[in-house]
Amino acid sequence: MNHLPCNFVHDKLSTSAKLLDVRTDEEYRREALPGALHIPLQNLPLMAKNHINTEEEVLVYCHSDSRAIIAEKILAGMGYKNVVVIGGLQHPISYH
């Protein structure tokens, strides 16, 4: 599993990396990181190919990072080559 130190998140997002939120719809409505693509974990296998290129770098987060870890495994199984778990909102990510 790939993990990025928080100080690299900003640099990755300033390139072509895609920020992916895999929390529930309700969680996303309450709070989300700016610019995040929202695909709930349970919908990821069906929706990923429509929204994310398999060659893109994907930075995944959730609330605590457990769903992000599962999402990373799902995406890897679907052929995504560059997926990175950046943590969860329970432990705020500072990338400004």
Helix (H, G, I), strand (E, B) or coil at 45: helix
- What's the pLDDT score for residue 64? 87
To 10 degrees, what angle do helices 44-51 and 66-77 make?
A: 70
Q: What is the pTM of this model?
A: 0.84
Per-residue model confidence as pLDDT tens digits over 36-66 = 999 999 999 999 999 999 999 999 999 988 9
Tokens 């605590």, located at residue: 64
| Sign of the dihedral defined by the CA atoms of residues 72, 17, 14, 61, in that order | negative
- What's the pLDDT score for residue 89? 76
| Stretch among 5-9, 13-17, 41-45, 74-78 having the lowest mean pLDDT | 5-9
pLDDT at 96 over 50: no
Domains with residue ranges and CATH for the chain: 6-88 (3.40.250.10)
